[in-house]
């Protein structure tokens, strides 16, 4: 038990050393207002112009500076940016140090009265773009936090141009409608770190996007089939999963876990180099987030050619249970995945699902050796106790 906790602490320390949140973006929370606008302005929307720009950012099209009014709550300290249907903002940053993966976290909400809630933002950097959609199904707040993978760069990569633009829908002809964005956090993540006694990298989901400090809803991760370009290191995403922290949710182990929220055919997947014909043991913890998420959760675990369903009856009060399965590898690399077949709801009617954490993959012989050692130790103890009784 102590050894397991020590390994976990070492992994968390290694993950912290491998990931850093840096001030690579200027005015990332838009707290520095445009020219001629005071920080305590009560005007809800201020149209940006070429003579009324936002510090740190350039823009095109219809872009408005938003201040917290009586009918709008903002995730940061009271200021944000609304992108009109033709609006775009961008900023150039430089990567620091050796080659690292960069993941962007930001907050998203629908903007304006009488506007459609069909809100999508296109996040792009040279060579890559991602569509991030407002879901409004997986939390009780107006705001959602999302994350997406940007790319891998080093100090010699040169300037990188980050663009965000509104992805308009046909239901919003009004040019002043559009998404509201805020609280950008750019996180640099180092190379994957292996830990002792686990063949999986990031099996505890400790390495992922940065959490928004004052958000209680976790971070939504969109579908990404390539685990090398995922915001969750080493795991591809099917459907939508929520990245959750131990500060606001029940996390079985460590600081972070995933909640599979979008129901059928959603979850996470990775691959690992294993020896064909050898037998392995896959362990994981399933639970709920302790936020009134109830349901009869069914998760399908796959290890190589073997698949098995596991069920947890959740009462929404922090139930957790450890499961395991044994499989024989028939390919190299070998797929490992967790897929949810069910969905629950919280008392606020937000869709939710099973939490997965502490995924450990070991060669089955290791478990056998441990069992043999434990059996030998137990036999020795019994022998010693019996001998002492005889002598007594």
* Domain annotation for the chain: domains and CATH numbers: 20-191 (2.60.120.260), 195-392 (2.60.120.260)
Residue, of 80 and 215, whose pLDDT is higher? 80
Identify the residue whose tokens are 């954490």.
357
Question: CA torsion angle for 355, 359, 365, 368 (degrees, to 10)?
Answer: -50
What integer is the mean pLDDT of 198-203? 97
> Residue 106: which region, alpha, beta or left (left: phi > 0; alpha: psi -120 to 50)?
beta
Sheet holding 128-133, edge to edge: 58-60, 88-94, 159-166, 120-125, 128-133
Check whether 207 has a pLDDT greater than 80: yes
Q: How far is CA 252 from CA 11, 198, 313, 354, in A?
A: 15, 17, 16, 12
pLDDT digits (tens, 9 = 90+) for 104-116: 999 999 876 666 6
Q: What is the pTM of this model?
A: 0.86
Band the pLDDT of 73: cuts 50, 70, 90. Answer: low
Q: What is the pLDDT of residue 370?
A: 39
Residue, of 77 and 270, whose pLDDT is higher? 270
Band the pLDDT of 218: cuts 50, 70, 90. Answer: very high
Q: Which long-range contacts (CB under 8 A, 24 or more apart) does 374-383 make?
A: none
Check whether 70 has a pLDDT greater than 70: no
Check whether 7 has a pLDDT greater than 50: no
Contact in structure between 236 and 230 (CB atoms under 8 Å): yes
Q: What is the pLDDT of residue 20?
A: 52
What is the C-alpha to C-alpha distance for residues 43 and 37, in angstroms, rounded to an integer? 9
Window from 27-41, 107-121, 188-202, 352-366 with minimum mean pLDDT: 107-121
Mean pLDDT: which of 66-70, 101-105, 343-347, 381-385 is highest?
Answer: 101-105
Check whether 9 has a pLDDT greater than 50: no
Phi then psi for 117, rounded to 5 degrees? -90, 5
Q: What is the DSSP string of 3-42?
A: HHHHHHHHHHHHHHHHEEE---STTTT--SPPTT--TT--
If we measure between CA atoms, which residue out of 26, 188, 172, 25 comes closest to residue 112?
172
What integer is the mean pLDDT of 208-213? 94
Check whether 357 has a pLDDT greater than 90: yes
Window from 15-24, 203-212, 290-299, 330-339 with minimum mean pLDDT: 15-24
Band the pLDDT of 166: cuts 50, 70, 90. Answer: very high
Q: What is the pLDDT of residue 170?
A: 60
pLDDT digits (tens, 9 = 90+) for 279-290: 999 999 999 999
What integer is the mean pLDDT of 225-249? 96
Residue 36: both structure tokens together: 């001629």
- 281-298 burial, b at 16+ Cβ within 10 Å, e below that, comes to bbbbbbbbbbbbbbbebe
What integer is the mean pLDDT of 160-175? 79
Band the pLDDT of 14: cuts 50, 70, 90. Answer: very low
What integer is the mean pLDDT of 365-370? 47
Window from 37-51, 92-106, 115-129 with minimum mean pLDDT: 37-51
Band the pLDDT of 127: cuts 50, 70, 90. Answer: very high
């Amino acid at each position: 038990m102590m050894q397991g906790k020590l390994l976990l602490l070492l992994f968390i320390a290694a993950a912290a050393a491998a990931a850093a949140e840096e001030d690579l973006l200027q005015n990332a929370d838009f707290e520095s207002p445009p020219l001629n606008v005071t920080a305590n302005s009560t005007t809800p929307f201020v149209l940006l112009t070429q003579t009324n720009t936002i510090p740190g950012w350039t823009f095109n099209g219809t872009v408005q500076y938003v201040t917290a009014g009586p009918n709008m709550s903002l995730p940061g300290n009271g200021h944000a940016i609304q992108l009109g249907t033709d609006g775009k903002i961008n900023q150039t940053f430089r990567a620091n140090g050796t080659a690292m993966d960069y993941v962007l976290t930001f907050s998203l909400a629908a903007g304006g009265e009488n506007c459609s809630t069909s809100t999508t933002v296109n996040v792009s950097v040279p060579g890559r773009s991602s569509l991030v959609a407002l879901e409004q199904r997986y939390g009780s707040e107006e705001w959602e936090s999302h994350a997406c993978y940007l790319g891998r760069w080093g100090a010699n990569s040169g300037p990188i141009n980050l663009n965000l633009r509104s992805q308009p829908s046909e239901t919003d002809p009004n040019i002043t409608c559009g998404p509201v964005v805020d609280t950008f956090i750019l996180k640099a993540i180092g190379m994957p770190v292996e830990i002792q006694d686990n063949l999986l990298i990031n099996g505890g989901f400790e390495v992922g996007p940065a959490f928004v400090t004052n958000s209680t809803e976790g971070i939504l991760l969109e579908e990404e089939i390539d685990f090398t370009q995922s915001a969750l290191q080493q795991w591809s995403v099917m459907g939508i999963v929520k990245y959750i922290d131990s500060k606001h949710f029940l996390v079985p182990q460590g600081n972070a876990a995933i909640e599979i929220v979008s129901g059928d055919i959603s979850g996470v997947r990775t691959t690992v180099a294993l020896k064909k014909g050898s037998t392995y043991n896959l362990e994981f913890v399933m639970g709920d987030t302790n936020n009134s998420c109830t349901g009869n959760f069914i998760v399908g675990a796959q290890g190589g050619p073997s698949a098995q369903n596991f069920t947890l009856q959740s009462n929404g009060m922090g139930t957790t249970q450890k499961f395991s399965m044994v499989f024989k590898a028939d390919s190299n690399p070998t797929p490992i995945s967790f897929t949810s077949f069910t969905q629950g709801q919280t008392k606020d009617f937000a869709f939710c699902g099973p939490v997965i954490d502490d995924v450990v993959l070991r060669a089955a012989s290791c478990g056998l050796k441990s069992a043999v050692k434990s059996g030998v130790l137990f036999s020795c103890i019994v022998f010693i106790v019996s001998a002492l009784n005889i002598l007594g």
